[in-house]
Structure 1
Amino acid sequence: MNLARTSKIVAQAFDAAMVEAGGTLPLWVTLLSVKSKELANQRELAGMIGIQGATLTHHLNAMEAQGLLTRRRDPQNRRVHQVELTEAGEAMFEKLRLAAIAFDKRLRAGIPDERLAEFADVLAALRANAEIKPPQS
């Protein structure tokens, strides 16, 4: 319960930091995902973000209307859309990136690096344990 409660509080605080910077958590994750690849198609992007294609389409439509990205059909496969950031998208990415860095710094304040490293190891072990399927009886 402690992990779930902490995760929820941190996620809400991060979302608030994104809103304060002029964005949202879904906007940040989408910009980050597009930025991390030269070109990403919508199907791959939805998988990277962990949302359904229809939800991603809604986000992309809004971002395209705001002038943050462009979509075009892949010449090799007309069913696939390629997604790229515009200049405005790059500027929003940078603004939200700085807000994310500031949030991370605030979140880690007062915690020594060695404790953070140990915590990262504990989180990795928790993820691994959660992925282990119990034996069938």
Structure 2
Amino acid sequence: MEKSLKVLLVEDNLIEIMKMNRTISLLKLKHTIYESKNGEEALKFLENKENIPDIILLDLNMPKISGLELLKIIKANEDLKHIPTIILTTSNNQKDLLECYKTGMSGYVLKPLKYEDYVKKIETVLAYWSINELIKI
């Protein structure tokens, strides 16, 4: 049975944030989306143990702290490293992909240009993680 997820979306682009929220609404999903506009905001959000999400959707190209830097911080933290972290990016750079896998990401999803394709990908990603057994702390 699919369960409702607490999802932390770390994304600096307002249009991408709106696109995610529109997709969740369109698909009539009951997931809760928390938004952080950069890595610093995400770390501040994650300091509160009550905010620990089920999964993190993380953009790579962000100001202040890049997605890769944030991924490394999360995976080095004993309290956070169990959280499945999925990269959601426009970068199909093989170096980025390899570095993210080495760091311990749970998935690497390229954002498609067409909205319909984006909806299908997000639906698939969220459906997959909503049937997984996830750590609740």
TM-score (norm 2): 0.23
* Structure with the higher fraction of residues in strand conformation: 2
Q: Which has the larger radius of gyration?
A: 1
